[in-house]
Amino acid sequence: MYVFIVNPVAGNGRGEKIYRRLSKTDYFKRLDSKVYITAFQGHAEKIARQLVLQAHTNIKTIIVVGGDGTIHEVVNGIGNGRIPIGYIPGGSGNDFGRGCKVRGTPKQMLRRIVEDSDVTPYWIGDYLLENGEKRHFVNSIGFGFDAEIAEHANQSVYKKLLNRFHIGKITYVIALILVLFKFKPFEIEIEVDGTRQVIKKCWMVTIANHQYYGGGMKIIPTAKIQPQRMPVLIIQDISKWKILGLFLTVFTGKHTSFKEVTVLEAEKVSISSTNLIFYQVDGQTSKCNTCTLLKNSREIQVLGTNI
């Protein structure tokens, strides 16, 4: 049986529209399927967790129709369960789809998920917060500037408006410019594979499981889907004008040649700050003082990719 988890509000209604069209196709009607429409924030995670408990009921694949926030919830809900997932982008950013090279119309994507004979292994990351909470990140986790951009975008009216006109991609560009005016660099201590350093004027630290982020920016161009090691990007001690220039080049991935940008690879990263700092995980934001990051040792299984 194919289980669909549909976020109707993803992409300002795009998730629902895609599902509605898909459900009218003969291909969909022939599938043995069950559909869950999420009704509130966190619902996709709850559904996925329950599905793992019913795994004996012959669930072939969980097919997610939504954005990065929905896929984040589903992956966290599945946890160590071994149910493969398929993804049909229906959000505004959809970076998971880009990272997994999911292509075509929703109908073509569905067909590929169902008929794919090879599962793609995908290594997610784990993050552990000071309150003991341990969760997974699917695309990326970022601290500082990028998180404040995501926070601004998520709280904004323009995100909805731009999504309505199918130009949701530029949401983060607008948020970036608005956050830039008020952002203040912060001090953090970062430990990368046992080596500690203090960064006095940190702008951001981002760890990614693939290169895409913020609706198509190539935040760490060298990042690839891989086990064990995580690419880490640090931006420090940079002027506001220069960071604007840096983000103009982020779509092409040329920003890593700026001297204020460091890209590392690590197995374990810990960050701590005496002040609360914003972090974004797969586009959803919160605040923390400390966080430890590792790759999850078990891969999730993704169907319908073009990797």
Ligand X SMILES: Nc1ncnc2c1ncn2[C@@H]1O[C@H](COP(=O)(O)OP(=O)(O)OP(=O)(O)O)[C@@H](O)[C@H]1O
What is the binding site for ligand X (CB under 6 A)? 7-11, 38-43, 66-70, 73, 91-94, 283-284
Q: Minimum distance from CB of 275 to ligand X (Å)?
A: 26
303: closest CA among 84, 94, 89, 95? 84
* Of 92 and 296, CB closest to ligand X: 92
Shortest Cβ distance from residue 284 to ligand X (Å)?
A: 6
Which 3 state secondary structure label does DSSP give 37? strand
Handedness of CA 157, 159, 163, 166 (dihedral sign): positive
* Cβ at position 282, least distance to ligand X in Å: 7
Backbone angles phi, psi at 150, to 5 degrees: -60, -40
Using DSSP bridges, classify how beta strands 2-6 and 33-37 pair: parallel, antiparallel or unpaired: parallel
Beta bridge partners of 282: none
Residue 231: both structure tokens together:
């690419």
Is the Cβ of residue 156 or residue 284 nearer to ligand X in the bound state? 284
Q: Judging by DSSP bridges, how do beta strands 140-144 and 268-281 pair with one another?
A: antiparallel
CA proximity to 271, closest of 76, 127, 72: 127
Nearer to ligand X, 97 or 144 (CB): 97
Residue with Cβ nearer ligand X (67 or 221): 67
Smallest separation (angstroms) from ligand X to the CB of 160:
9
- 253 by Cβ neighbours in 10 Å (0-12 / 13-18 / 19+) ranks as middle
Residue 285 CA to its chain's centroid (Å): 11
Position 117: which residue type? S
The answer to whether 256 and 221 have CB atoms below 8 angstroms apart is yes
Token pair listed for 169:
């991609």
Choose between 186 and 212: whose C-beta lies nearer to ligand X.
Answer: 212
Residue 74 or 293: which CB sits closer to ligand X? 74
Instruction: Determine phi and psi for 192, rounding to 5 degrees.
Output: -115, 115
Question: Which are the contacts of 81, defined by CB distance < 8 A and separation ≥ 6?
Answer: 48, 51, 52, 55
The least CB distance from residue 176 to ligand X, in Å, is: 15
CB of 121 to ligand X, least distance (A): 22
> How far is CA 132 from its chain centroid?
22
Helix, strand, or coil here: 38? coil
- Beta carbon nearer to ligand X, 44 or 199: 44
Residue 95 C-beta: closest distance to ligand X, Å: 7
Supply the minimum distance, in Å, between the C-beta of residue 39 and ligand X. 5
